[in-house]
Chains A and B, each alone.
Chain A
Amino acid sequence: MANSFSMPPALEWLRATRVWKSIFRRGPALTNRSRSLAVFGNLFLHLLPVKVREKSLRVRVSYYLGSISFLLFVVLGVTGVLLMFYYHPAVPQAYRDMKDLRFVVSNGVFLRNLHRLAAQLMVLAVFWHMFHVFYRGGYRPPHEFNWVVGVVLLLVTLFLSYTGYLLPWDQLAFWAITVGTNILSAMPLIGRRIRFISLGGNLVGENALLRFYVLHCVVLPLIAILLVAVHFWRVQKDGGLTVPEEDGGKGN
């Protein structure tokens, strides 16, 4: 199999060195064997299949919505960690930190804009991804369980976005969470108790801010990472994306 592109010499040399080989467990990926090794010999890439159907790469098959959701999650992780350096989950310091991001921290506004924008887009992308998969029949056997994992991931995405909504501690945040958690008390018998547990009190206050902060920055991201790994791995195990068949009946 001829190589259609040539590497810059420096990179080619680098990939043949002992150090490179010791890290990636292989030399340059010039043969299909070493390309397979590149995928299943790598902790992160082994979630993906070694080979994919040519058709599943077409934009119209997936619009890369799953990939985009994941990439937005990565962007949110990076910008989120940077934001954590400037944030205290305390009343009213949390709000002052927002002001500092705007007026004191270099590019602070830009950082917060990126995080907020990516968060809104991720909610949209995950919803769109689900509807697209449904219309393509991507939930049919053997993909049933991965669909269920996807529904849970949608809920985790919504909770991530919702817990993050409180953190700026402005009027928008406070009343959105008050309105949202008031719905919980409508649950029969245990409603008030569940609201008390999620807020750490009867009102949205310091305890609620701390709880939402821990959920937003630790608990929910860990759950999301775990489920995304399962979700990717199951795509591979269940035989790749659902692609249109071109059978004898319809020609082509």
Chain B
Amino acid sequence: MAEKEINKYEAGFSSDAKKEPVRVVFITKKTSAKVIGDAGPRVMTYPHLLIREAIAFMALVIALVGVALFWDAPLEQLANPLLTPNPAKAPWYFLGLQELLHYFPPLVAGIIIPTLVVIALVIVPYFDVNIQGAPLWSGNPKRTLWIFLAVVITLTSLLGLFRAWTVLVPTEIIALLMLSSYRGSATQKGGAVAWWRRERTLSWWVMTWFISVAIVLTAVGTFFRGPGWSWVWPWSSHAG
């Protein structure tokens, strides 16, 4: 296995021992030589970085004080275990999870999905074998398309089965965007936006999907859920 790894990439270092090696060359079998270039000159941390941190700190404190003078932290009645508010909501950053709990059994929404998300985030750097950042539809686009369609149809039917509309809608929008970037792989037509979308990698799409779903779920849980977790419009007042 180690031999295979060595054969895949050849690395050459600057042979001038007096200079630090500033250039590392990756030569892969499929592509031409790619040079990881010089990332530019360096400056002293003291004072260049520290003065910027100090300015950031001052700006932040001024902004915090400005808001804290006019906005009040919420405080409701004394906690009463006998009086359940309807709906009882978690802090805003957990409302996406609470929205999921509305559709899926507690074991799935409360335990399995969060655990999978954390595991996925942890293993992200260890599974990124796509060093060259190859776009999604490069390589064998037909085969990729079939796999893509199979995944989307499975996801759609699963989410439809549980009637998880607030997950389904962002999922379908991202899937459509991915699909619309497919046509461009054969032709080089289209403007800058089409080109930009064509160049996106699989990991980029997956992360964007995850963030879109998380934002939609959190926003819906925060603003659009009323008594009994029913749908309400944030501008219509309700007794509850």
- Cα A110 to Cα B73 with chains together (Å): 9
Please determine whether B35 and A247 come into contact, CB atoms closer than 8 angstroms. yes
CA distance A174 to B43 in the complex (A): 51
Q: Which residue of B lies closest to A191 (CB)?
A: B111
A17–chain B nearest beta-carbon distance, Å: 20
Cβ contacts under 8 Å, A32 to chain B: 44
CA gap between A184 and B38 in the complex, in Å: 50
B36's partner among A147, A184, A245 (CB-CB below 8 A) is A245
B229 to chain A, nearest CB (A): 11
A155 within 8 A of B: yes
Q: Tell me, yes or no, whether A158 is within 8 Å of chain B by CB.
A: yes
Q: How far is the CB of A24 from chain B (nearest CB, A)?
A: 11
A88 on interface, CB distance cutoff 8 Å: no
In the assembled complex, B107 has its CB within 8 A of some CB on chain A: yes
With an 8 A cutoff between CB atoms, is B61 at the interface?
yes
Q: A86 to chain B: which residues have CB within 8 Å?
A: none
In the docked arrangement, what's the CA distance between A27 and B97, Å?
A: 55
Closest to A164 in B: B91
Residue B139 lies at the interface, judged by CB distance under 8 Å to chain A: no
How many A residues touch B, CB cutoff 8 Å? 87
| Min CB gap A20→B, angstroms | 15
Contacting pair A131 B68 (CB below 8 A)? no
B84 & A243 in contact (Cβ 8 Å cutoff):
no
Tell whether A134 pairs with B124 under 8 Å between CB atoms, given A110-B68, A187-B111. Answer: yes
A192 within 8 A of B: no
Shortest Cβ distance from B101 into A: residue:
A183
Q: Is A143 an interface residue (CB 8 A)?
A: yes
Known: A131-B211, A174-B80, A245-B39. A140 touches B128 (CB 8 A): yes
Q: Given A51-B45, A147-B124, does the pair A170, B68 have CB atoms closer than 8 Å?
A: no
Which of A8-16, A65-73, A220-228 interfaces with chain B? A65-73
| Shortest Cβ distance from B121 into A: residue | A151
Nearest-neighbour CB distance to chain B for A234, whole angstroms, equals: 13
User: Is A148 among interface residues, defined by CB-CB distance under 8 A?
Assistant: yes
Contact status B41-A54, CB under 8 Å:
yes
Cα–Cα, bound, A52→B211 (Å): 31
Determine if A196 is an interface residue (Cβ-Cβ < 8 Å).
Answer: no
A residues less than 8 Å from B81 (CB atoms): 174, 203-204
Once the chains bind, are B60 and A246 in contact (CB under 8 Å)? no
In the complex, what residues of B have CB within 8 A of residue A134's CB? 124, 207
B residues less than 8 Å from A188 (CB atoms): 107, 111
Residue A199 at the chain B interface, CB threshold 8 Å: no
Flag B18-60 by CB within 8 Å of A: 1 or 0 each.
Answer: 0000000000000000111111111111111110110011001
- CA–CA, A120 to B77, complex, Å? 21
Is there an interface contact between B78 and A53, defined as CB atoms closer than 8 Å?
A: no
Cβ of A117 and Cβ of B49 under 8 Å apart?
no
Q: CB distance A57 to B43 under 8 Å?
A: yes
The 16 listed contacts between A and B (C-beta, < 8 Å) are A51-B43, A54-B48, A113-B71, A121-B64, A134-B124, A148-B125, A170-B78, A171-B80, A173-B79, A174-B80, A175-B84, A175-B85, A204-B81, A246-B37, A248-B37, A249-B35
Residues on B lying within 8 angstroms of A by beta carbon are 34-50, 52-53, 56-57, 60-61, 64-65, 67-69, 71-81, 83-85, 88-94, 97-98, 101, 105-107, 110-111, 118, 121-122, 124-126, 128, 131, 133, 204, 207, 211
* New A-B pairs, 12, CB < 8 Å, besides A49-B45, A57-B49: A35-B46, A68-B56, A71-B56, A92-B78, A115-B73, A117-B71, A139-B124, A151-B121, A185-B106, A186-B107, A246-B40, A249-B34
